[in-house]
Amino acid sequence: MSCRLPGAARFRADHEGLQDMPALALDFFISMRSPFSYLVIPRLDALTETYDVEITARPVYALAARVPDWFKTLNPLWLQYFVTDQQRTAEFLDVPFALPRPDPIVQDLATGTIAADQPYIQRLTCLAAAAGERGRSFAFVREVTTLIFSGAVDGWNEGDHLKNAVARSGLDLDELESAITADPDSFEQIIGRNQDAQKAVGHWGTPLMVFQGEAFFGQDRFEMLKWRLEQNGLTRR
């Protein structure tokens, strides 16, 4: 897995406009392939709009990319339930949802085999890491996962779909990709540190919200996360 992309410009860290961290802050570990990460984002977004809390999205590679044999070890019934549950959850939350076209992971769902070449998840994860360096990690994952999972477009990777989604997050796709091309290893290191931090709090999956070292795994742990934040002085903006 590598962040090497076409382009030529050098990375220039730009921290202008970043604000001081509020009293409450949490990390949001996200895979750009995770439908349940997408489904929890509207509630996290509303949380930051209403309360004095800041969320930092920390991209990690999808489990399928990190552990290619993972899906071969699962009960065959897992996939059927997973597909049903993601659609049901979207309907329950009233969030637009469709299976991504294309899937960010190149995989044979019938056999569980993961392709050696993973251009989509590689590109998306490195872009998310670059967005984080510019203080726009959560805005980036909000807009780009909406593009991928909302069903609003066919072929999220085609035309200007991704470029426009990145623009809605306040960033420029060409600039991000140029920065990654100029120094791909630095973005791989960011992703690697995120994966190490994820393990350090005792989990491997996404979505994973972490507050003061306590991990809350899964979109269905959002209310429990909010309860914990309230115990620690969560206040309205």
What does DSSP say about strands 113-114 and 53-59: parallel, antiparallel, or unpaired? unpaired
Average pLDDT value for the chain: 89
Q: Are 31 and 59 in contact (CB under 8 A)?
A: yes
Task: Specify the pLDDT at position 10.
Answer: 25
Task: Specify the pLDDT at position 8.
Answer: 28
The rounded percent of the chain whose pLDDT value lies above 90 is: 75
Residue 179 has pLDDT above 70, yes or no: yes
Average pLDDT over residues 27-52: 97
Write down the H helix ranges in the chain: 35-50, 63-66, 77-93, 119-133, 137-149, 161-168, 173-182, 184-200, 222-231
Taking only the tens place, the pLDDT of each residue in 80-97 is 898 899 999 999 999 999
Task: Specify the pLDDT at position 164.
Answer: 98
Task: Specify the pLDDT at position 4.
Answer: 53
Taking only the tens place, the pLDDT of each residue in 5-15 is 433 222 223 33
* Site of tokens 């590689």: 122
Q: Are 21 and 205 in contact (CB under 8 A)?
A: no
Average pLDDT over residues 30-57: 96
Distance CA 127, CA 129 (A): 5
Two tokens at 87? 């659609």
Task: Specify the pLDDT at position 161.
Answer: 97
Q: Which CATH entry fits the domain spanning 24-231: 3.30.2040.10, 3.40.50.300, 3.40.30.10, 3.40.50.280? A: 3.40.30.10
